[in-house]
Amino acid sequence: MICGVDEAGKGSVLGPMVVAAVGVSSEDALDDLGVKDSKLLSPKERERLYALIKKRCRVAAVRLDAPDIDAVREEMTLNAAVARAHAQVINILSPSLAYVDACDVNCFRYAEMVKSHLDRECEIVSEHHADVKFPVVSAASIIAKVTRDRAIVTLSKKYGDIGSGYPSDPITIRFLNDWIDEHKVPPPIARKSWKTVSAILAKKTQKSLLDF
């Protein structure tokens, strides 16, 4: 089996990161589906392909929620945590070859990081923009993205409109600001180890001191 691995939500300040692997029997197994990097597809097209990929391929996914990410960052870098999660989904599928989207400037170093967490022998091909170069990684990016998007919808039903969860999203930042104003602490779904959160807290603490 050949598998592709990718993640969604790595840089998000709210909500989970999802790592997914898709396993196929041959390099051309997905040619007729027209899979692309999930960022290049509309939400509707991602959902359509998600169902087809799940039906045709073996799929594995792991989810790290905000508290999990905060905890793991006390032990290791985020890149190391992603490499370990990449290895987790590879271990579930047990392929002979895995293409991974490199989360390190050095692709070869990243491949070794992933290999260090594997249960059994597997060739790792680590490349930047693997989700564009290899259809099986594109498929994994679709599974990861749709899974995470669904999680964000569920969180929005509970917490109100949280936006995409990324620091670049004004809706996300507004939600964080409003929550901290009301509760004096970050929401449970926020990655407290992120600079975005610490900067908002510091700004509000400074404002409180000035008001005092």
The Cα-based distances of 43 to 38, 40, 142 in angstroms read 9, 10, 10
Ordered DSSP codes for 83-140: HHHHHHHHHHH--SEEEEE--SSSHHHHHHHHHTT-SS--EEEEETTHHHH-HHHHHH
Sequence-ordered list of residues with C-beta below 8 angstroms from that of 36, at least 6 positions apart, any chain: 132, 138
Tell me the per-residue pLDDT of 127-169, one tens digit each, with 9 for 90 and over.
999 989 999 999 999 999 999 999 999 999 999 999 999 999 9
Predicted confidence (pLDDT) per residue in 41-97, tens digit: 899 999 999 999 999 999 999 999 999 999 999 999 999 999 999 999 999 999 999
Q: Give the chain's domains with CATH numbers.
A: 2-156 (3.30.420.10), 158-211 (1.10.10.460)
